[in-house]
Structure 1
Amino acid sequence: GEDMIGKYSFQQKASREMSSVRRGSVDSYDERENCSSFTNLDPGLEDEQRLLHQNVTQQLERCLTEAKTSTLLCQVVLLPRHLLTRIGHHILCSSSDEPCGLRGASIALYVDDKDGLKTVGTVFPDPSVTPTFELSVVLKVDTEDGWPSLKHIFNKVLKLRPEYRLVKRKLYSSASPVVHDFSEK
């Protein structure tokens, strides 16, 4: 997964690194972050959870990559570094109390921009399992135009904020959806 996300650092300290960024990939920009995703998992589950986490993160990234030309109408999507890793971790946490865990999830990815919600794609962690709950991940577009110089380099850059919303809805239940808002903290 790491090779698909160009490490994008606006301090330009990593100029040699820039040359390895694949054109048209989903890039990330630096965000102060200490990511301790798997510290409190049962060691026996850890490998399986890590694989599930990696798989979901890669599928979310693929959704974003494929949506660039169709739904999002941009050439580059800039993500805060570790954003997808964090989302993957929160998806795992939300799935832990479900009968099939993450395998019973259907995950819908949305981007919230000035025109409203856009559907980016849907991820089924295990297509052989009928989903019992639905997770909606809503990414927010950063509309503050902080980098005019970038606008000249890329005419279509979509920068996402570190905050996002995760909504969990049980499919065969009258329970209300549970909404979590995550910030960069």
Structure 2
Amino acid sequence: MENSTVPETKKDVLKMVHKFKTTFQRLLSRENQNVIETDYEKCETNTDIEKKVFGTQKDWMNLFEDPSEDAKCNQFAKHIEDGLKEAREKHLKCEILIPCGLTMRIARDILIMSESEPCGVRGCSLIIHLQEKSNCTELVKLQYDPTTVSTFEIHLTLQEDTRHVVSVRKMMMQLTGCFKHSTYKSTPKMLCLAYKLEKQKLYRANC
């Protein structure tokens, strides 16, 4: 009986932490918060950060109390993933390895940044960049809702994980045949949990 209550308690705590964080971010967004930047990769390994902040995958996948917010996040996360697939096909010509939950966290932040916009997230144009050491490349530009005039742009800068341990991991994955069905010959790119979001309005606010 005691063991059955532990997961629920942990889940409740995670929900509370998420609620406080979301509320704080929304307050900041209302004060002209146009930039959100994370640097998780500078602290510990991606896996350690995921476990400490979000628990297991099952835990953080169900943090949203409002089902409509959860659905919007899932939809925008897929929008980001589709953009990365387009970039993979047209520009990178290699597999892209995405950390578990990264697109959902980015989607959540974009929804928060969109709250103060006239058309909400429907007016969002998303430009995805990839930071590789000192080189930053624009990969793809996407319009979230083609039927709505874009009122603002979100510039999403993702970062390639260039740590030595990641290079060894990718080498092992190639040697063990993880990419044997891939159509690309180039070395896969692995993203880290760090990202930067910058919002630029495409209209002049009334004074």
TM-score by length of 2: 0.60
The higher relative CO (CA closer than 8 Å, separation ≥ 6) is in: 2
Pairwise CA distance, 1:115 = 5.9
Give 2:194's aligned residue: 163
Give 2:141's aligned residue: 122
Q: Aligned equivalents of 2:90 and 2:125: distance in 1?
A: 22
Which secondary structure does the structure 2 equivalent of 1:71 belong to? helix
Which secondary structure does the structure 2 equivalent of 1:146 belong to? helix
Give 2:170's aligned residue: 150
Q: Aligned equivalents of 2:164 and 2:84: distance in 1?
A: 21
Which secondary structure does the structure 1 equivalent of 2:197 belong to? strand
Q: Aligned equivalents of 2:88 and 2:149: distance in 1?
A: 29
- Closer/same/farther in 2, CA of residues 128 and 149 from structure 1, 3 Å limit: closer
Give 2:31's aligned residue: none
Give 1:38's aligned residue: 64
TM alignment of 1:11-50, pairs within 5 A: 30=47, 31-32=50-51, 33-34=53-54, 35=60, 38-39=64-65, 43=66, 46-47=67-68, 49-50=69-70
- Closer/same/farther in 2, CA of residues 117 and 37 from structure 1, 3 Å limit: farther
Which secondary structure does the structure 2 equivalent of 1:67 belong to? helix
Pairwise CA distance, 1:149 = 5.2
Higher strand share: 1
Which secondary structure does the structure 1 equivalent of 2:98 belong to? strand
Q: Are the equivalent residues in 2 in contact too, given 1:141–1:158 (CA < 8 A)?
A: yes
- Give the gaps of 5 or more residues in structure 1: 1-28, 175-185
Percent identical among aligned pairs is 29
Which secondary structure does the structure 2 equivalent of 1:62 belong to? helix
Pairwise CA distance, 1:69 = 3.7
Q: Are the equivalent residues in 2 in contact too, given 1:67–1:121 (CA < 8 A)?
A: yes
Q: Are the equivalent residues in 2 in contact too, given 1:71–1:118 (CA < 8 A)?
A: no
Pairwise CA distance, 1:91 = 0.5
- Closer/same/farther in 2, CA of residues 167 and 149 from structure 1, 3 Å limit: closer
Runs of 4+ with deviation above 3 angstroms: none
TM alignment of 1:31-180, pairs within 5 A: 31-32=50-51, 33-34=53-54, 35=60, 38-39=64-65, 43=66, 46-47=67-68, 49-74=69-94, 76-114=95-133, 116-147=135-166, 148=168, 150-151=170-171, 153=174, 156-173=187-204
Q: Aligned equivalents of 1:53 and 1:149: distance in 2?
A: 30
Cα RMSD (Å) of the superposition? 2.5
Which secondary structure does the structure 2 equivalent of 1:56 belong to? helix
Letter in 1 for 2:162: T
